[in-house]
Structure 1
Amino acid sequence: MNVFEAVKQSVTTRQAAERYGIRVGRNGMCVCPFHEDKNPSMKVDRRFHCFGCQADGDVIDFVSRLENVSPKKAALMLAKDFSIPYEGREPPGRNHHRRQPRQESPEQQFRRMERYCFRVLSDYHNLLRRWKRDYAPKTPDEDFHPLFVEALQRMSHVEYLLDVLLFSDMEERAALIASYGKEVRSLERRMADIAARDTAGRDRHHRSRTPAPER
């Protein structure tokens, strides 16, 4: 099975859209990345169709247009990002001819940074929602947990930033990315550290509950 067939059978356009930082609603609708879309007008499922600009196609067409690359490069990108095996794929470390990284246009750089900021802010918003739920005080006398306080203080601001990325014009989105780019990178590192600590804590808890082997 070649890379085109393997990708089309393995990945839906919705999965690709969410992987590359596009927020998709429960009904499968999202803001179209191919025109200045103020309201979600694109339907993504196995294929995609925009009811505004009439963009239409399969998952490879979607990524090709999103990243401004050829269909073959889009298929290879999807195969790599989703770990999809296909005929002729070389095992890791067997590529003798190292490819030069492709040069991005300013528009591609902006789109990539925009998707990156949206992904990190969405992950942080989900984390804040969980903290607000899990660390809420159980009694009137209980002290506020620092993560609960952070959720109360930051949630509205993060929602505002997400709304700007979703619904504002390009000038406003560019200004947000320029202002908050460094903060978003720091936020991503912090969330990675929190996730690592949570994983280590779960591992320690599991080991403490596992009975020692009998001698």
Structure 2
Amino acid sequence: MNVFGTVKTSINTREAAERYGVEVNRHGKALCPFHNDRHPSLFVDDDHYHCFACGEHGDVIDFTSKLHGLSLYDAAKKLAYDFGITQDKPPDKAVQEKLNKKSEARRLRENEKLCFSALMEYYKLLQEWMILYAPKTPEETPHDRFIQACHHLSYVEYLVDLLVMGDSYERTEVIDMMMTDGKLKKLQTYLKKMKKEEKACERRKDFAR
């Protein structure tokens, strides 16, 4: 078992946050250490964290990496050291059973990161379209992108909320839905296409100047 697997099996995100001085209340909320947070906007669960203000999101290793300015590998080593995990000692039966039970959870967590990243990017894009392409007058025919934003923004926001605040069952449901019939891959491809179109548009504007 490598240091990443050992750390993720043995230490949860809330334990690490509290160990490193972040006070988490009974609702899982805390002041975010990644920006000047005056009102608790950080949500800390056992297997992930998310800031509703600055958008920081990840697992226990991501949290430690960001908090201390370390690479992911160095963050994992720091966690192992700070929590007294000995890498040279093979896991006992209880730890191994815990690892086996969480193997599927880790796979889901990796998929969850991919789903969250794509959905959050799409959500921000739809928010921009709601503003940029809103009709200027009641008589103006709505732009296709404005219509798309109207149709999908609330649903995408709902999916993002489930990945952030939902329980394990709800998050798994979102992940399974996104993985079915290549939905995630299609969304990622669509977002890349939109980025290319945006860059091409910017180049045309610069050339026109």
Give TM-score scaled by structure 1 length: 0.54
In structure 2, what is the Cα distance between the partners aligned to 1:201 and 1:62? 36
Q: 1:202 to 1:62 in 2, by over 3 A?
A: closer
Q: Given the alignment of the two structures, is residue 185 of structure 1 paired with residue 185 of structure 2, yes or no?
A: yes
In structure 2, what is the Cα distance between the partners aligned to 1:156 and 1:207? 37
The answer for the alignment partner of 2:106 in structure 1 is 108
The Cα of 1:136 is off from its aligned counterpart by 0.6
Q: Given the alignment of the two structures, is residue 201 of structure 1 paired with residue 201 of structure 2, yes or no?
A: yes
**For 2:44, what is the secondary structure of its paired residue?**
coil
Q: 1:206 to 1:28 in 2, by over 3 A?
A: farther
The Cα of 1:202 is off from its aligned counterpart by 1.3
The answer for the alignment partner of 1:59 in structure 2 is 68
Q: 1:36 to 1:132 in 2, by over 3 A?
A: closer
Match of 1:151 among 149, 152, 155: 149
> Runs of 5+ in structure 2 lacking a partner?
1-32, 55-59, 80-101
In structure 2, what is the Cα distance between the partners aligned to 1:197 and 1:126? 16
**For 1:137, what is the secondary structure of its paired residue?**
coil
The Cα of 1:190 is off from its aligned counterpart by 0.8
The Cα of 1:185 is off from its aligned counterpart by 2.3
Q: Which amino acid aligns with 1:204?
A: R
The answer (yes or no) to whether the contact 1:36–1:169 under 8 Å persists in 2 is no
Q: 1:26 to 1:192 in 2, by over 3 A?
A: farther
The Cα of 1:70 is off from its aligned counterpart by 3.9
Q: Given the alignment of the two structures, is residue 32 of structure 1 paired with residue 44 of structure 2, yes or no?
A: yes
The answer for the alignment partner of 1:168 in structure 2 is 166
The answer (yes or no) to whether the contact 1:61–1:71 under 8 Å persists in 2 is no
Aligned residues: 144
Instruction: Determine which structure has the larger helix proportion and give its number.
Output: 2
Percent identity between the aligned chains? Answer: 25
The Cα of 1:64 is off from its aligned counterpart by 6.2
Q: Which amino acid aligns with 2:120?
A: S
The Cα of 1:108 is off from its aligned counterpart by 2.3
| Root mean square deviation, CA, Å | 4.0
The Cα of 1:122 is off from its aligned counterpart by 1.1
In structure 1, what is the Cα distance between the partners aligned to 2:71 and 2:175? 24
Moved over 6 A (4+): none
In structure 2, what is the Cα distance between the partners aligned to 1:174 and 1:168? 9
The answer for the alignment partner of 1:119 in structure 2 is 117
**For 1:186, what is the secondary structure of its paired residue?**
helix
Please give the residue correspondences for 1:133-144 in structure 2 after superposition, counting only pairs within 5 Å.
133-144=131-142
Q: 1:112 to 1:35 in 2, by over 3 A?
A: closer
Q: Which amino acid aligns with 1:121?
A: L
Q: 1:106 to 1:126 in 2, by over 3 A?
A: same
